[in-house]
Amino acid sequence: MGWQMGAAFLAASILISFFHPTGVMSFTPAKVLLPRAPRIVLLKVTWEPSNPVAGQNVTLIPGGLEVFHVCRWYRAAAVDEANEIFSYHPPPPSHWQQKGSAYTGRETGGPGCTLHITNLTLDDSGNYTVTKESRAMPLNIGHALLRVSEPPSVPDSACSKRSGIISGIVLGSLVVTAMIGILLYFLLRAYYPSDNKTSTQLISTYAMYEHLSPSVGENP
């Protein structure tokens, strides 16, 4: 019987709490806790060289958090999983990267979440986005607009100048060769003057003998 009276008293107390002293029912709305939107910190992205050319390499360097547990690079103007290049996980224990759908085989992550691209092409021009995630810090996000230029063409005047230099070298080599040949010719004549004289004497003697040989045969 005692517990029944206690239950009745509790029910009466609950009913009374819904009514204001003026006789009007009232209640206090419960507080709804909404999840907080994640804070975002914009970071600056630079690249080296500042004016990349097709065929060269380039490194994109983000600022922001120095300590993070993962960072991601996207070939897009915003975070887009369909254009993710890779996710980079720094040490410890060791750094590693997971390839994304926009990975071409020429991209490598490095310390500080740098993005290194080798053998640039004109198609590498465009927007890039990077995020750095830390469990205790706000999300860091940065954007970069990379422009890859064509290699400079060689001017026609430079080609003509180069052709003129080559022609001059060839002509000079021919002149030097001819001068060396002439010099050798005169040196040989100077060192061996008796050879020509001896040859002349031999020819003269042979001619004289040939002229006198018939008469010698007629007088035994």
Q: What is the pLDDT of residue 103?
A: 97
Question: Is 79 contained in some domain?
Answer: yes
Q: What is the pLDDT of residue 76?
A: 97
Judge if 74 and 161 occupy the same domain: no
- Which residues are CB-neighbours of 88 under 8 A, at least 6 positions away? 70, 71, 72, 73, 95, 96, 97, 109, 113
Question: Is 12 contained in some domain?
Answer: no
* Tally of domains within the chain: 2
Structure tokens at 48: 């080296």
Judge if 54 and 129 occupy the same domain: yes
Judge if 117 and 185 occupy the same domain: no
Residue 135 lies in domain: 40-146
Reduce the DSSP state of residue 52 to 3 states and report it: coil
Structure tokens at 46: 């630079």
Reduce the DSSP state of residue 89 to 3 states and report it: strand
Q: What is the pLDDT of residue 112?
A: 93
In whole angstroms, what is the distance from residue 197 CA to residue 200 CA? 5
pLDDT tens for the 220 residues of the chain, in order: 555 555 555 555 555 554 555 544 454 555 555 555 568 999 999 999 999 999 999 999 999 998 999 999 999 999 999 999 999 999 877 778 999 999 999 999 999 999 999 999 999 999 999 999 998 889 999 999 999 999 988 665 556 677 778 877 887 788 778 788 787 777 777 766 655 555 555 455 545 545 554 544 444 4
Give, in order, the Cα–Cα distances in Å from 207 to each of 105, 198, 204, 211, 218: 91, 14, 5, 6, 19
Q: What is the pLDDT of residue 12?
A: 58
Question: Is 56 contained in some domain?
Answer: yes
